[in-house]
Amino acid sequence: MPVYKAPLRDMKFLLNEVFDYPGHYQRLASGANASPDIVDAILTECGRFCEEVLSPLYQSGDEQGCTLTDGEVTTPAGYKAAYDQYAQGGWQGLSAPEEFGGQGLPASMGLLKQEMMGTANWSFSMYPGLSLGAMNTIFLHGSDDQKHTYLTPLTEGRWGGTMCLTEPQCGTDLGQVKTKAEPQADGSFKLTGTKIFISSGDHDLTENIVHIVLARLPDAPKGTRGISLFIVPKFLPTEDGGVGPRNGVSCGSLEKKMGIKASATCVMNFDGATGFLIGPENEGLNCMFTFMNTARIGTAIQGVGPAELSYQWALDYARDRRSMRALSGKKEPEQVADALIHHGDVRRMLLTQKAVAEGGRAMLYYAARLADHMVEGHTEGDLDKAAKYDDKLGFLTPILKGFLTEMGCEAANLGMQVFGGHGYIREHGMEQIVRDTRIATLYEGTTGIQALDLLGRKVLVMTQGGAVREFTLKIANFARKQLADKRLRPFAVELLKLTAQWNLLTVRVMLAARKDRDVVSAAAYDFLMYSGYVTMAYMWLRQSAVAVDKLANGGEDSEAFYQAKLATAEFYYERLLPRAQAHATSMLSPTRNLMQIDAEDMAFTG
């Protein structure tokens, strides 16, 4: 089985040469200790941990999966030792406040860590990843006592965290949540209900698990306005910060899944479990969005990660595997056949993977800068600053999650295709990447839900198209500056056309929706994918601009690295970006072609 190699050169290219993270960190209060030398050392050590510890567990974890015995979940062999090493290395608290035992580094440092971990072993990365969401929720909405009780052990990695939203009768429609929370005389609550699809719901990696749970108070209004948020620990904490008696929460069963089998996905039963209200009554959904936005950005990594991992392994295979001769003539006459990499169609697949991985990584790092400012606003109590950057990030979040995971699935499938019949065989690991990646378009909101959030909520309702106008203005201003360079001019001209079209499409959908509300749902997926292709095109122009400058004036690496950037950008603009026009056509298609068949007539009649 091939081994993951951390793409440190590309990561540093984006951090230091494209997005000026050193300058960005200097402007952050939390960035005082994030000097270039420190960041470089952290990336190098995290890469080593991922390559040497997490990657070797990727396939074995899938083979073994998790087991449930007498109500306790056991993770695959090697996971507990790897987690202990992770916790002892201080990785969980990388971006957590120093007052709770963290290192106080910017939030974006945590995302860089998560990218490498998630690419090396997505199942493993989900355990500490869910804890980060719980930590953020308690930090932003918890009382001082709750922060004192939970944040230090969570930051140290001694305790884990989850989010418990979904129930058997409802997934995305959380207005149907039925779990009850009965108030007690001591100020606590007794929670009763069942939650499903709970990642990291139970495991043997930490001494305690802190569940963040949505539930209803007895007199709560119906629908989403009547949901509150609660902290429900597996073991009740003691006054000295230790682990006390077992709470009334247990794992009823493990889901049998097609992928991420080493990640425990649990049915969790709350049987009069003691819980503690976090945030105001009946405003749990608003508080939970802190968790959800964190999770959705994290899930976007599962678009970039499999594209990177599948590309690495497919590239190695294509260099070594020989089949037939290239149509343009023999490339390796001394061999019985030419390597796969000399065939045009194989190159198409590999370059698609490369363009998605490196373009998606740039999208994540662009968004991570916004997240740094948002978190700093919350930390400093500057709610206006926090809201400003939350809005900017909120617009990009569904694009990141929806578009990148869809493209990650495509890239994973292409990697399997490069292997041909061998891609179908488990020992090569390619089919596992496909299975593990397929969930990414489903959990934390399906692609359709992300699309509705983007078009229906963020664009049409909240900003009346303003979010698109603001973002496209930024893109257009950058593109205009590149028109003078002959290598960048074709990219810049195309991007300027697309920014104008994006605004026009937004207006046309908005006007059509006034007459037919189904237009929003019918156009949403194509609007999201169009938005994703244009956003990635912006990222490729930014990378290309740096590459052109470095080739002219000298850079940190050989010319080959920068020439490859320009070549990949050209491939993206000429081979992948044209897909945006198909989405533009589809989103303006009338809803009649979706709605004219009655539901009864759609039934199978064979």
Q: For residues 346 and 417, is the Cβ–Cβ distance under 8 A?
A: no
Count Cβ neighbours within 10 Å for each residue of 26-35 and write b for 16 or more, e otherwise: eebebbeebe
Stretch 557-585: mean pLDDT? 95
Instruction: Classify residue 305 as exposed, middle or buried by CB count within 10 Å of its CB (0-12, 13-18, 19+).
Output: buried
CATH no. for 287-451: 1.20.140.10
473 pLDDT band (50/70/90 cuts)? very high
pLDDT score, position 289: 73
Bin 465: left if φ > 0, else alpha if -120 < ψ < 50, else beta: left
Helices (H) and strands (E) in the chain, counts: 20, 11
Give the whole-number percent of the chain exceeding pLDDT 90: 81
Paired residues of 377 in beta bridges = none
Residue 39 identity (one-letter amino acid): V
Instruction: Classify residue 125 as exposed, middle or buried by CB count within 10 Å of its CB (0-12, 13-18, 19+).
Output: buried
DSSP structural state of residue 72:
E
pLDDT score, position 292: 62
Give the H or E element holding residue 273: strand 265-277
Closest C-alpha to 583, from 516, 542, 535 = 535
pLDDT score, position 606: 60
Q: Please tell me the class of the 56-89+121-282 domain.
A: mainly beta
Angle at 83 between CA 91 and CA 131, to 5 degrees: 60
How confident is the model over 94-143, as pLDDT tens digits? Answer: 999 999 999 999 999 999 999 999 999 999 999 999 999 899 899 989 99
Alpha-carbon distance of 340 to 470, in angstroms, equals 45
pLDDT score, position 604: 64
Alpha-carbon distance of 77 to 436, in angstroms, equals 19
Stretch 164-177: mean pLDDT? 82
CA 502, chain centre distance (Å): 24
Residue 90 identity (one-letter amino acid): G
The angle that helices 518-553 and 466-481 make with each other, rounded to 10 degrees, is: 20
**Is there a catalytic annotation at residue 444?**
yes
CA 361, chain centre distance (Å): 11
Q: Count Cβ atoms below 10 Å from residue 93 Cβ, excluding itself.
A: 25
Residue 356 identity (one-letter amino acid): V
How confident is the model over 285-315, as pLDDT tens digits? Answer: 888 776 566 667 788 999 999 999 999 999 9
- Residue 388 token pair: 């400003």
Q: What is the mean pLDDT of the chain?
A: 93
Alpha-carbon distance of 319 to 339, in angstroms, equals 6
Alpha-carbon distance of 159 to 151, in angstroms, equals 9
Alpha-carbon distance of 498 to 583, in angstroms, equals 12
- Whole-model pTM over 0.85: yes
Closest C-alpha to 100, from 153, 160, 152 = 152
How confident is the model over 379-423, as pLDDT tens digits? Answer: 788 888 888 988 999 999 999 999 999 999 999 999 999 999 999
Helix then strand then coil, in percent of the chain rounded to 5, is 60, 10, 25
The three-class DSSP label of residue 272 is strand
605 pLDDT band (50/70/90 cuts)? low
How confident is the model over 240-294, as pLDDT tens digits? Answer: 889 999 999 999 999 999 999 999 999 999 999 999 999 999 988 888 776 566 6
Q: Of the given ranges (83-92, 217-226, 454-463, 518-527), which has the lowest mean pLDDT? A: 217-226
- The CA radius of gyration of the chain, in Å to the nearest whole number, is 24
- 445 pLDDT exceeds 90? no
Stretch 423-449: mean pLDDT? 94
Alpha-carbon distance of 325 to 340, in angstroms, equals 9
Closest C-alpha to 202, from 149, 134, 167, 249 = 249
The three-class DSSP label of residue 32 is coil
More confident residue, 521 or 241: 521
Instruction: Classify residue 176 as exposed, middle or buried by CB count within 10 Å of its CB (0-12, 13-18, 19+).
Output: middle
What are the DSSP calls for 140-193, one per residue? HHS-HHHHHHHHHHHHHTSEEEEEE--BTTBSS-GGG---EEEE-TTS-EEEEE
376 pLDDT band (50/70/90 cuts)? confident
Q: For residues 413 and 311, is the Cβ–Cβ distance under 8 A?
A: no
| 3-state SS, one letter per residue, for 207-239 | CEEEEEEEEECCCCCCHHHHCEEEEEECEEECC
Which of the following is catalytic: 167, 444, 570, 574? 444
- 44 pLDDT exceeds 60? yes
Give the whole-number percent of the chain exceeding pLDDT 70: 98
Q: What are phi and psi of 168, to 5 degrees?
A: -55, -35
pLDDT score, position 294: 60
pLDDT score, position 174: 73
More confident residue, 177 or 119: 119
Stretch 42-64: mean pLDDT? 98
Closest C-alpha to 361, from 12, 1, 4 = 12
Stretch 139-157: mean pLDDT? 95
What are the DSSP calls for 473-521, one per residue? HHHHHHHHHTTTSTTTHHHHHHHHHHHHHHHHHHHHHHHHHHH-THHHH
> Which residue is it, tokens 């617009």?
395
CA 386, chain centre distance (Å): 21
Alpha-carbon distance of 292 to 522, in angstroms, equals 25
